[in-house]
């Protein structure tokens, strides 16, 4: 078995436990799994910003300008340098299978986040970007979570979020349009939560159409 | 059946179109591109396809037991993966080995541009007026002969500092004079950056392009291209003259995709020149069996012998390195060395060690900088060292070859480490005494026990010196 990130052979420690148990298949090596840095508490209770004990400044601003829009966000990993590199490889270069590297931790977090029973909403790409990239990152994550995606949004083509500064993003127009209203509580699945603008654009439309509660789940924060 | 196995085991490039209709789009000449890499509109592409100037080529070969990516030659099953592809609504195969250059998918064909473009023929492109030594001249004549016949291979086996670049000038002149397309490929970005200004100075009127990972120019539409071997992944059957520098370098030696790409980049009928100071076993074997004609230059251009490394035992080395220190004996040696006008190059086995030792030397008030592969200011730091702006450069094997500093002493710390193989040690020793004004230099290998690699390196240097004396 080779590490899906660095392609080195995964050599497991030999202990009595690994010796006696049937071998479990590990997708990533120890070295890489250390670099991934999952988020543990303390973190901001409403957006999962790591190394923060109380509600963070960004969230307080959001509460002031858009109260009650997004219930909370749960994220799995810190968006550190190593992960930035991985996201570039996964999303922009298009190395689809890298999502497997995050699988174990994502599934663990998903179970502990308490989102079961909510409808899972996918973040769409514009048709142009989807053809360019070949896959939708949000769909890829939902597949890993073994849930059914709800594709109820459309997106107009614009500049990539990652190419914009914070100020630009905050004042950007809503690129989404809602095709189908839904009243049950939902969770939006995306890859990165940076300023929280994207998910709130979607939450805004959902709430206006009578959705009772909107939360989000992202891999990186 | 046998044919299938043969195709799998040997690199087979018969899929590159043999017909090459002439055209005047140098940007696609001899290139193997993904559809989105073509700098034309869809309409133009359609038209070029009809004229069969562009040809669609299937991007992967399939075998009963696996696949091969036609861009990088990857056949390892763990470097292929499948993904649900939005535009075909199916699970499609893609290659993970060369994904840094854009994803190759089995369902998306490459577009290959015909290689017959009329390249400009330069009347007298070379303005270099220096003199070649007798040995250099002999090698240069052989290469010019090879370029003129236009078909064959040749290995230039020249010691570090023999002036390999200058040997190429007459051959490149001959090629450009005839309007041939030339490529000089080398495994390292630093070397490309260093070679470009040298060639631009010697060939002032020729359009020379340098291609590397983040090069300012990306078109690759010139008739003379200096590129890293990685960039050759985008070329197929493109060059009449192919010069491969440092065939023995670790990067090139250990990456089958670079062999695949450089083999494919040359035209079926072309002159291929290999340059090396430390050929690997494979090349030595070919030379010995007269399969690969070789030209041997055992003498440096200034005529002085190569500095022979000294071995020094430092039993406490590993313990000291663990504490981010150097043994007192070595520190003493550095301080006596620093009282001479020469600068000092320190080689360490890893990036982490190099940074630690640089930091500890800084504390002792030396003017010191560390340079390694992950350093974003690498080029600036190397240039500053060459301008004698500081005294000590701590580095890893990244600087083992291709860079020239006029007057340095070289210490290798922990020379027994696996990264320092024979070729690397010979190359490192070759950094000293490069300039005719200061043709000697001290090379010391600090170790905790001699290894075969160190001894082989020393005996190979002594062998070259012996051969050099005889001439």
Please name the residue of chain B whose CA is at the shortest distance from the CA of residue A1.
B78
Domain B134-297: CATH class, spelled out: alpha beta
B329-B330-B331-B336 Cα dihedral, nearest 10 degrees: 90
Q: How far is B425 from chain A (nearest CA, A)?
A: 27
Write down the ipTM of this complex. Answer: 0.88
Is A130 touching B (CB cutoff 8 A)? yes
Decide if B262 contacts B232 (C-beta within 8 A).
yes
Which pLDDT score is estimated for B279?
86
Which pLDDT score is estimated for A188?
93
Helices (H), B298-437: 317-322, 328-338, 351-363, 378-386, 422-429
CATH 3.40.50.300 domain residues, chain B: 134-297, 310-470
Per DSSP, the three-state class of B178 is: coil
Burial of residue B373 (CB within 10 Å: 0-12, 13-18, 19+) is: middle
Buried b (16+ CB within 10 A) or exposed e, B212-247: beebeeeebbbbbbbbbbbbbbbbbbbbbbbbbbbb
What tokens were used for A13? 């420690």
DSSP string, B354-385: HHHHHHHHHHTT--EEEE-TT-TTHHHHHHHH
Select from B64, B164, B151, B67 the least CA-distant residue to B107.
Answer: B67
Is A57 touching B (CB cutoff 8 A)? no
Q: Sorting pLDDT into bands at 50, 70 and 90, what band is B444? A: very high
Which of A27-41, B70-84, B211-225 holds the top average pLDDT?
Answer: B70-84
Average pLDDT over residues B17-39: 89
pLDDT tens by residue, B332-353: 999 999 999 999 999 999 988 8
DSSP string, B37-106: G-SS-HHHHHHHHHTTSEEEE-SEEEETTEEEETTT----GGGEEEEEETTTTEEEEEESTTGGG---BT
Does the pLDDT at position B74 exceed 80? yes
Residues 88-107 of chain A whose Cβ lies under 8 A from any Cβ of chain B: 89, 93-97
| Boundaries of every domain in chain A | 1-36, 37-220
Q: Sorting pLDDT into bands at 50, 70 and 90, what band is B264? A: very high
Report DSSP state, residue B236.
Answer: S
What tokens were used for B440? 């000697």
The yes/no answer on whether domain A37-220 falls in CATH 3.40.50 is yes
Is A82 touching B (CB cutoff 8 A)? no
Cα separation, B456 vs B379, in Å, equals 32
Query: What is the second-level CATH architecture of the domain B310-470?
Result: 3-Layer(aba) Sandwich (3.40)
What tokens were used for B321? 């390195």
pTM: 0.84
Which pLDDT score is estimated for B8?
81
Which chain B residues are closer than 8 Å to A95 by Cβ? 81, 96, 99, 103
Give the count of alpha carbons within 13 A of A137, CB side only: 24
B195-B395-B217-B240 Cα dihedral, nearest 10 degrees: 40
End-to-end Cα spacing for chain B: 54
Cα-based distances in Å from B275 to B12, B63, B167, B212: 25, 35, 10, 20
What tokens were used for B306? 């190569």
Q: Rounded mean pLDDT of chain A?
A: 87
pLDDT tens by residue, B151-205: 999 999 888 888 888 899 999 999 999 999 999 999 888 888 888 999 999 999 9
Q: Do B103 and A135 touch (CB under 8 A)?
A: no
Q: How far is B106 from chain A (nearest CA, A)?
A: 13
Q: Do A7 and B79 touch (CB under 8 A)?
A: yes
pLDDT tens by residue, B359-410: 999 998 889 999 888 888 888 888 899 888 999 999 998 888 777 888 899 9
Is A9 touching B (CB cutoff 8 A)? no
Q: Sorting pLDDT into bands at 50, 70 and 90, what band is B435? A: confident
Q: Do B87 and A96 touch (CB under 8 A)?
A: no
DSSP string, B202-224: HSTTS-EEEE-TT-S-----SSE
Q: Do A135 and B81 touch (CB under 8 A)?
A: no
B290: left (phi over 0), alpha (psi -120 to 50) or beta: left
Each residue's pLDDT, cut to its tens digit, for chain A (221 residues) gives 788 988 888 877 788 887 888 877 778 888 888 888 888 878 888 888 888 888 888 888 888 888 888 888 999 999 999 999 999 999 999 999 999 999 988 999 999 888 888 899 999 999 888 988 899 999 999 999 998 888 888 888 877 777 777 777 777 788 888 888 888 899 999 999 988 888 899 998 999 888 888 999 999 99
Share above pLDDT 70 across residues of chain B, in percent, rounded to a whole number: 100
Q: Do B103 and A97 touch (CB under 8 A)?
A: no
Per DSSP, the three-state class of A116 is: coil
Select from B119, B237, B105, B240 the least CA-distant residue to B172.
Answer: B240
pLDDT tens by residue, A103-115: 988 999 999 888 8
């Amino acid at each position: 078995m080779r590490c899906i990130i660095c392609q080195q052979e995964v050599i497991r420690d030999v202990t009595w436990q690994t010796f006696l148990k049937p071998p479990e298949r590990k997708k990533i090596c120890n070295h890489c799994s250390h670099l991934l840095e999952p988020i543990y508490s303390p973190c901001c209770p409403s957006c999962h910003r790591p190394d923060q004990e109380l509600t963070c400044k960004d969230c307080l601003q959001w509460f002031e300008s858009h109260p009650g829009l997004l219930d909370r966000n749960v994220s799995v990993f810190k968006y550190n340098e190593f992960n930035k590199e991985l996201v570039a490889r996964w999303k922009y270069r298009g190395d689809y299978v890298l999502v497997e590297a995050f699988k174990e931790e994502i599934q663990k977090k998903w179970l502990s986040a308490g989102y079961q029973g909510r409808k899972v909403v996918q973040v769409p790409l514009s048709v142009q970007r989807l053809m360019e990239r070949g896959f939708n990152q949000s769909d890829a994550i939902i597949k890993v979570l073994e849930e059914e995606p709800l594709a109820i949004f459309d997106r107009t083509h614009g500049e990539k979020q990652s190419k914009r500064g914070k100020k630009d993003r905050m004042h950007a127009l809503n690129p989404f349009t809602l095709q189908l209203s839904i009243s049950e509580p939902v969770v939006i699945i995306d890859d990165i939560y940076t300023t929280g603008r994207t998910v709130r654009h979607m939450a805004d439309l959902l709430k206006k159409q009578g959705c009772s509660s909107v939360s989000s789940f992202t891999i990186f924060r | 059946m046998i044919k299938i196995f043969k195709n799998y085991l040997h690199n087979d490039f018969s899929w590159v179109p043999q017909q090459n209709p002439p055209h005047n789009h140098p940007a696609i000449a001899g290139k193997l591109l993904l559809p989105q890499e073509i700098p034309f509109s869809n309409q133009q592409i359609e038209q070029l396809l009809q004229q069969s100037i562009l040809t669609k080529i299937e991007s992967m070969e399939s075998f009963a037991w696996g696949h091969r990516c036609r861009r990088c030659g990857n056949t390892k099953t763990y470097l292929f993966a499948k993904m649900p592809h939005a535009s075909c609504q199916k699970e499609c195969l893609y290659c993970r080995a060369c994904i840094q250059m854009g994803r190759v998918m089995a369902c998306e064909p490459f577009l290959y541009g015909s290689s017959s473009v009329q390249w400009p023929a330069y009347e007298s492109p070379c303005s270099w007026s220096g003199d070649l030594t007798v040995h250099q001249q002999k090698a240069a004549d052989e290469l010019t002969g090879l370029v003129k016949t236009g078909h064959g291979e040749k290995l230039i086996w020249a010691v570090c500092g023999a002036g390999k670049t200058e040997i190429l000038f007459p051959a490149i002149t001959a090629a450009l004079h005839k309007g041939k397309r030339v490529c000089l490929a080398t495994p390292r970005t630093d070397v490309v950056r260093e070679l470009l200004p040298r060639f631009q100075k010697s060939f002032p009127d020729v359009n020379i392009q340098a291609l590397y990972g983040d090069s300012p120019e990306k078109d690759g539409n010139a008739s003379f291209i200096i590129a890293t071997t990685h960039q050759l992944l985008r070329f197929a059957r493109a060059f009449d003259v192919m010069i491969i520098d440092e065939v023995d370098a670790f990067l090139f030696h250990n990456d089958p995709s670079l062999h695949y790409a450089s083999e494919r980049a040359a035209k079926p009928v072309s002159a291929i020149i290999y340059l090396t100071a430390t050929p690997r076993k494979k090349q030595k074997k070919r030379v010995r069996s007269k399969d690969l004609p070789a030209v041997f230059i055992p003498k440096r251009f200034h005529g002085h012998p190569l500095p022979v490394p000294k071995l020094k035992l430092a039993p406490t080395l590993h313990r000291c390195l663990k504490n981010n220190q150097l043994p007192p004996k070595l520190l003493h040696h550095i301080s006596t060395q620093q009282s001479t006008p020469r600068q000092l190059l320190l080689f360490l086995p890893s990036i982490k060690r190099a940074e630690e030792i640089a930091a500890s030397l800084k504390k002792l008030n030396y003017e010191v900088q560390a340079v390694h592969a992950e350093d974003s200011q690498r080029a600036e730091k190397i240039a500053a060292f060459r301008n004698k702006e500081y005294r000590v450069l701590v580095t890893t094997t990244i600087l083992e070859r291709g860079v020239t500093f006029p007057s340095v002493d070289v210490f290798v710390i922990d020379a027994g480490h696996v990264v320092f193989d024979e070729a690397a040690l010979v190359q490192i020793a070759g950094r000293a005494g490069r300039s005719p004004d200061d043709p000697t230099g001290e090379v010391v290998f600090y170790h905790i026990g001699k290894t075969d690699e160190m001894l082989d390196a020393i005996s190979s240097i002594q062998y070259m010196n012996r051969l050099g004396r005889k001439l």
